Amino acid sequence: MRKLLTGGLLSLALGLASGASSTAIAVELVGRAVLPADTFAPGPTSGQLITGETNGRTVPFVDQQPVQGFSGVLPGPRRGTFLVMSDNGFGAKANSPDYLLRFYAVQPDFLTRFGGSGEVFPVNRETGRPLTDFSAESFLQLNDSANQAGFELVAAQSVYPGTSIPVDSSIQSGRLLTGGDFDLESFRKVSDGTYWFGEEFGPFLLHVSADGQLIEPPFSLPNFLGLGDPPLPLVQSPDNPFLGDTVPNLPGSRGFEGTALNASGTKLYAMLEGPLVPDTNRNRLLINEFDLATKSYTGRVFYYRMENTVESGQAIGDLTAINDREFLVIERDSRQGDPNNPAVTDPAQFKRIYKLDITKLDSQGFVEKQLLVDLLNIEDPFGLGGNGTTDGTFTFPFVTIEDVLPINSTTLLVINDNNYPFSTGRTPGEPDNNEFILVRLDQPLKLARPLR
């Protein structure tokens, strides 16, 4: 294993990223590290329900779980380390009941930031100590051993839904949560050491202990705007386990894509990925405020205006707090591939990071938004981008980009969700790696607490 970037070396790299003065000169790529697509951790056999094109990968993954699909990122146990959360697995409830819900501790090595990309290594989840592989020390496995979910989990069944394949005994005995139960898309750690997750099947907010146990029933989202005729009391997707005979008022896979924790640590802001079915404003996304002290929604709803409608493939990828009123949001289209690569027939056209301010509203009640980063147009002065850079410009052309974290006032960490083994945004026909990039902004953020 190569020596990891720690302490003073990381400070040097981020010092170069943030610049000597308070005014940055350009949006630049200043660090890049790559975790190979074919990275696995121990666990029960997964991918048994995958069908269709797998880009040359053989399924199932026997006695393994892919380390992939990163949909959330948090600071890790020590300087230079991060926690990265996998989503529900293979993209759907039906094909992911054998995929375990976890988050992993990693350390990107940006030592080779001049002239090439670095690597990403596993570390111990509690101490940050470097590990040789993604062993059980590197991840936290979620479970419902306290029977809080309120519906029949995959773990309570004898076979995976719709199959004759027996549910793995470790899933059953530990009541381990899987991608057939919840679709995790964001997570935050609060002051008591517990975690809150935003998920899409409900959509729900989930409260999980420091050791991975679901400790309260899922929190449903009320239909505060009263949309619908008649309006349903809750916002529910087709995958909601409590739906019954009710017609869902939220499309599938449009639940809580981003969940931000304000700088004061008092409130969560849960952002839907798509508009409600009865909402005539098809590019309006709702951000709902949740009070952590009372563990209830406050009823405050903020409007975010996407640049295009959801029907055109527009969506958001993450929501992250800068301070108590300003947030970062990733907005993207549903295309993938570098526009500079002639082998790509339908390249990405829109991958951006905006800053929004919930205290500044327009005449229609939408929050103010300001473009910070065009992820398809990043200067690469140090030649870090490999085949992602053409004529000095780096692109991040992945179909789903779902992780952004401010490192300091002028540096962002951005990570793609590689949807293993399906997404091919970097090289046609090859599953995407998990790419970690550092981007230097052309203007400083009013960051409440710099990470590093």
- pLDDT tens digits for range 73-122: 999 999 999 999 999 999 999 999 999 999 999 999 985 455 667 999 99
Q: Which long-range contacts (CB under 8 A, 24 or more apart) does 124-127 make?
A: 124/77, 125/77, 125/83, 126/77, 127/77, 127/78
The pLDDT value given to residue 110: 81
Q: What is the mean pLDDT of residues 398-402?
A: 98
Q: What is the mean pLDDT of residues 211-232?
A: 98
- What are the structural domains of the chain? 7-440 (2.115.10)
Contact indicator for 89, 99 with CB cutoff of 8 Å = yes
Mean pLDDT over each residue of the chain, to the nearest integer: 93
- Separation of alpha carbons 131 and 124, rounded Å: 7
Q: Specify the residue for token string 């409007």.
A: 303
β-partners of residue 102 are 141
Q: How far is CA 224 from CA 112, 232, 299, in A?
A: 50, 10, 6
* Choice among 26-30, 59-63, 88-92, 337-341 with the minimum mean pLDDT: 26-30
User: Please, what sign has the CA dihedral across residues 77, 81, 83, 86?
Assistant: negative
pLDDT band at 26 (very low <50, low <70, confident <90, very high): low
Contact indicator for 304, 271 with CB cutoff of 8 Å = yes
CA angle 250, 271, 244 (to 5 degrees): 30
- pLDDT tens digits for range 115-171: 667 999 999 999 999 999 999 999 999 999 999 999 999 999 999 999 999 999 999
Name the residue with higher pLDDT: 4 or 216: 216
Structure tokens at 337: 């591939």
Determine whether 426 is exposed, middle or buried from the number of CB atoms within 10 Å of its CB (0-12, 13-18, 19+).
buried
Question: Residue 406, Cβ neighbours under 10 Å: how many?
Answer: 21
The pLDDT value given to residue 360: 97
pLDDT at 235 over 90: yes
User: CA neighbours within 13 Å on the CB side: how many for 183?
Assistant: 24
